[in-house]
Structure 1
Amino acid sequence: MNKVFLIGRLTKDPELKFTPGSGTAVTTLTLAVDKYNTATKQREADFIPVVVWGKQAESVANYMSKGSQMAIGGRIQTRSYEAKDGSKRYVTEVVANEVEFLSKGNGNHQASSDFGGSSEYGASSNNSFGGSNFDEDMTPVDDGDIPF
């Protein structure tokens, strides 16, 4: 099974492009996802490259901006290509097929929801999802207490 669900903030404005020929919209972005380092007892972040296709790609580019919080659901994809210098490069990224805007993006647009076809949690300006505020400190879990 290849399924990924992430909640994080955009590290910069999303980049919208269109494929040659078919003109399909594709948006690339980097999501900063919080994590807790039990060794240093510090909050850190992983920076995850994400690709969004089609109408959702256009919505992300139009309504989200640097610092906006969003949730994505999708799959991990690995691919390779040849760089200009002739070397082979490998890329691992998340291809999103579900997107939820959790905070407002640029302008005065109202954020919308495409995550799971439901707007139950909708977008809000207080950066909350289901009543939980992700900006609050969380209690760390000691990995030694998990039975699996």
Structure 2
Amino acid sequence: MARDLNKVMLTGRLGKDVELRVTPNGRSVATFSVASSRNIREGDAWKEQTEWFRVVAWEKLAETCSNYLHKGSHVFIEGRLQTREYTDKDGIKKYSTEVIATDMTMLDSKGQNSGGGNDIEDAWDNAGGGGNSNSGSGGRSSGGNRSRGNSYDSGETDLEDIPF
């Protein structure tokens, strides 16, 4: 029997600062938008085409995103797509497809971060790599700092836990 696959991998830059909230059950949830651009040919010219993705991170990964990402941060996100249904203020049923992040890697070079550049590296070192990485280099991957979501949180998101 074939297995289904729901996997997203994207790189891009944050369009605004991360928004961190806490659900009534005490779970941290972060939301942010990532813009990913590519060049396409239109006639004799090249044009940049940008897609925007809404990203949702939970628990420890949400807190890491909130602490270290900001508008303009270059990130690599791994996760899965999830579509949820909600009713807007006018009573109209709407749908929203989001990337539920399970892994995040900061791609900014050392010194490109708004907090002076070394804050992320120092915090990562002091935390022993955060214990959230699957790389064997003390929490560092070759392309940036990596943080994984909770492995037990792979099920569907309880929509009652979303505070918006």
Question: What TM-score range do you get, normalising by the shorter chain?
Answer: 0.7 to 0.9
Whole-Å separation in 2 of the counterparts to 1:93 and 1:50: 6
Asked if the contact 1:64–1:106 (Cα under 8 Å) also holds between the matched residues in 2, the reply is no
Which residue pairs with 2:28 in the alignment? 25
Which residue pairs with 2:162 in the alignment? none
Which residue pairs with 2:79 in the alignment? 74
Q: Against the structure 1 CA distance between its residues 46 and 6, is the aligned structure 2 distance closer, same or farther, given a 3 Å change threshold?
A: same
Asked if the contact 1:5–1:71 (Cα under 8 Å) also holds between the matched residues in 2, the reply is yes
Q: Which runs of 5+ in 1 are unaligned?
A: 125-148
User: Secondary structure of 2:141's partner?
Assistant: coil
Indicate the RMSD between aligned Cα atoms, in angstroms. Answer: 2.1
Which residue pairs with 2:11 in the alignment? 7
Whole-Å separation in 1 of the counterparts to 2:77 and 2:101: 6
Displacement of 1:55 = 0.5
Cα offsets for 1:30-85 (capped at 9, x unmatched): 00101122225212211111101110100101111000101010001111111121
Cα offsets for 1:78-104 (capped at 9, x unmatched): 111111211111101110101111125
Structure 1 position 36 matched with structure 2 position 57: no
| Superposition TM-score, scaled by structure 2 size | 0.68
Which residue pairs with 2:56 in the alignment? 51
| Superposition TM-score, scaled by structure 1 size | 0.75
Asked if the contact 1:63–1:106 (Cα under 8 Å) also holds between the matched residues in 2, the reply is no
Which residue pairs with 2:142 in the alignment? 121
Which residue pairs with 1:144 in the alignment? none
- One-letter amino acid of the counterpart of residue 23, structure 2: T
Q: Against the structure 1 CA distance between its residues 56 and 106, is the aligned structure 2 distance closer, same or farther, given a 3 Å change threshold?
A: farther
Which residue pairs with 2:149 in the alignment? none
Asked if the contact 1:12–1:30 (Cα under 8 Å) also holds between the matched residues in 2, the reply is yes
User: Secondary structure of 2:90's partner?
Assistant: coil
Aligned length: 123
Q: Which runs of 5+ in 2 are unaligned?
A: 146-164
Displacement of 1:106 = 4.0
Percent identity, aligned pairs only, is 39
